[in-house]
Amino acid sequence: MLLPKSNTPRWIIILGDIVLSLAALFVAYLIRFDLEAKEELIQSEWDILSKSIGFYIGIKLIVFYIFKIHKGLIRHSSTEDFSRIVKATLVSSTLFGIAGLLKYYYVDGAYFFPTSVLIVELFFSTAFIVGSRFAIKLIHMESTRSKDVDEVVLIYGAGISGLITKRTIEKDQATGYRIAGFIDDNKKQSGNRLEGITIYHSSDLEKVIIDKSVTQLIIAIQAPDELKRKEIVEICLANGVEVQKVPSAKSWINGEFSAKQISKIKIDDLLGRKPIVLDEDKIESELSNEVILVTGAAGSIGSGMVRQIAKYKPAKLILLDQAESPLYDLQNEIISEFPNLTFEAVIGDIRSRDRMKNVFNAFKPKYVFHAAAYKHVPLMEVNPSEAVLTNILGTKNLVDLANEFEVHKFVMISTDKAVNPTNVMGASKRIAEIYAQFSNKTNTKFITTRFGNVLGSNGSVIPLFQRQLDQGGPLTVTDERITRFFMSIPEACQLVLEAGTMGQGSEIFVFDMGESVKIIDLAKKMIQLSGLELGKDIEIKITGLRPGEKLYEELLAKEENTLATHHPQILKAKMREEESDQISKIIDLIELFGAQNNDEMVRRMKDIVPEFISNNSQFEKLDV
């Protein structure tokens, strides 16, 4: 080590600064006399200087102490430390000048120091003291730098965030990173250098990875284009390059972040699409200053809806859920994030009509966003009575009360599993859709939104895979052929709001989910993103389809087609005609609950939804 590990005593730093200042004064005199060192001249100047040198040292000591330039850790000197040094030397020279004037006019007609010497001394004393600290800092950085290069890194983004990322990595020398270059989408930047590091265009990424033997790419762009980021990550994964990203700027401290905050990219970043453009004015005009009820508010979609709606400043937001602990957590989050929001957290079960009537009577909501439901296919397949009780009776209670209390709009959140259902859960949601569409008796507008799997929602495949990765595997996939549509929670909630405000009643809105994704490919990419190797570090196990599970999800039934809306990601399903006695059949199904006869209950569901054909289920016998 070139430097001691312990902090240098403060008196040594003060003494060093005084010595550097005296050296600057000496250089100033040399320059004043054009570097001539005649003995007579030196003796003459020393006779004058010897009377002033004590004053010089005294002023420097006092000013340096007041500005505390000795307090900072020299090996970690910052721009703030350098600023204090400049101010201290400037104040010192100013005091010398003022004292010299006073001495000239009121004492003996002579200055302490010639003006030219003061000016040159100011420059050199500042340069010497700042330079010494900068030199010590560089020596410290070199002495602590890891001599072995563990990672050859590319930084994606040559803007401010990329520059801060470079400096952060270089500051944390123990990491053993070597920055091979920047990657940027701006062609005008290509070939330029940023703090000595070459900038390459993103189209050259694969070539740069090979030529530079890159092992890691760090995404430093705060809001990258979703499609471009996906393309960049895919190239990296194909070439065995680990991908990481810098944290959100919200988590930076004083404009900087720690290298420890750089984290691995998540699978969500590969499934995202271009940001959704909403009609913000339309949504705000509908929801602002209104009382809004969200059922299932503590769930994945419900809590996402709450966060989205809160931005539009409703008069009051009612958070309804039967799950006490998750609702408590959501309540605390809302208090923290939206301190000015007026809201009420209500514990209640949508299956209880009396409890729901009390809620409607107490708050009189103008908008209802109905997200409460049982959603897990395998569980509902063995508990069909609970699917009927919650998904159908619960929805019926809310729909009936919406009519009774003349709610302006009722937005039901449904699922792609309601299309040509192969399981009890999907069929129960389709029946709930039918009841919401065809039972309105007032001016209440009933609107249904239908979409697929939501990234990161409770019980979804991605959190399951992540837990399995953390446990060392294997990752379980039910079938190699199985595919699903995916959408992020914010995306889904934004589209629900957009569809809800555009709806005029009795519509089913279908969201553009993009391309379907093979679940086994999803598992493989998550393994790659975790830095593991399939077949060597971890395995994928095929477990077989679960009861009621489909290979492929659909968003529209065969008898349906779609109509375009003003929003490119929202389509309106043109529904087939339902039988006139559907509502009475639904009521009869609910009344069957008391008998707890699963076969008869599912048989009635198949009668209401003829396209409900069970798959890999005990209820396949009812389709014969």
Report yes or no: 436 and 399 within 8 Å, Cβ to Cβ. yes
Within 10 angstroms of residue 249's Cβ, the number of other Cβ atoms is: 13
In the structure encoding, which two tokens stand for residue 486, read together? Answer: 């995916």
User: What tens digit of pLDDT does each residue of 212-252 get?
Assistant: 888 888 888 877 777 788 888 888 888 888 888 887 766 66
Tokens of 386: 């609970």
Structure tokens at 203: 């189209």
Residue among 557, 600, 566, 605 nearest 582 (CA): 605
DSSP for 216-258 reads EEEE--SS--HHHHHHHHHHHHHTT-EEEEPPPGGG-BTTB--
The verdict on 93 and 62 lying in the same domain is yes
From 113, 144, 175, the end of a domain falls on 144
Task: Please report, as a single letter, which amino acid is at residue 122.
Answer: L
Task: Say if residue 155 is in the same domain as residue 140.
Answer: no
Instruction: Indicate the pairing of strand 507-511 with strand 445-451.
Output: parallel
Residue with tokens 């590091």: 197
**Same domain assignment for residues 139 and 156:** no
β-pairing, 570-574 vs 561-564, is antiparallel
Number of domains in the chain: 3
Instruction: Return the pLDDT at 540.
Output: 92
For residue 263, the SS3 value is strand
Q: Would you state the pLDDT for residue 141? A: 60
pLDDT tens, residue by residue, 345-384 = 999 999 999 999 999 999 999 999 999 999 888 999 999 9
What are 302-320's pLDDT values in tens digits?
999 999 999 999 999 999 9
| Nearest alpha carbon to residue 271 among 452, 464, 426, 500 | 452
Residues 475-505 pLDDT 10s: 899 888 888 877 778 888 888 888 888 888 8
Is the pLDDT at 278 greater than 80? The verdict is no
Domain boundary among 100, 117, 144: 144
When mean pLDDT is compared over 198-212, 273-287, 454-468, the highest value belongs to 198-212
Cα–Cα nearest to 150, from 129, 128, 172: 172
Residues annotated catalytic, as ranges: 417
The CA angle 533-534-540, to the nearest 5 degrees, is 145
Q: What is the mean pLDDT of the chain?
A: 82
**Is 167 in the same domain as 245?**
yes
Segment 138-155, tens digit of pLDDT = 676 656 555 555 678 888
Residue 579 lies inside a defined structural domain of this protein: yes
**Helical residues (DSSP H) of 364-455, grouped into ranges:** 377-382, 384-387, 395-404, 424-438
Among 260-264, 289-293, 424-428, 480-484, the range scoring the smallest mean pLDDT is 260-264
Are residues 321 and 293 in contact, defined by beta-carbon separation less than 8 angstroms?
A: no
The pLDDT of residue 557 is: 56
**Residue 37 maps to a domain:** yes
Domain that holds residue 32: 10-144
What is the number of residues in the chain?
Answer: 624
Calculate the CA 264 to chain-centre distance: 13
Q: How confident is the model at residue 576 (pLDDT cuts 50, 70, 90)?
A: low
Residues 404 and 327 in one domain: yes
The pLDDT value given to residue 39: 62
Instruction: Return the minimum-mean-pLDDT range out of 59-63, 235-239, 457-461, 524-528.
Output: 457-461
Determine, yes or no, domain membership for 595.
yes
pTM of the model: 0.69
| Cross-strand partners of 409 | 367, 445
pLDDT of residue 130 exceeding 90 = no
CATH at residue 239: 3.40.50.720
At residue 293, does pLDDT exceed 90?
yes
- Are 206 and 325 contained in the same domain? no
Q: Which residue has the tokens 């005593």?
A: 9
pLDDT at 171 over 60: yes
Could you tell me which residue, 167 or 72, shows the higher pLDDT?
167
Residues 35 and 119 in one domain: yes
Asked if residue 191 and residue 71 are part of one domain, the reply reads no
Nearest-CA neighbor of 29 among 96, 112, 105, 114? 114
Q: Are residues 503 and 596 in the same domain?
A: yes
User: Within this chain, do residues 123 and 229 fall inside the same structural domain, yes or no?
Assistant: no
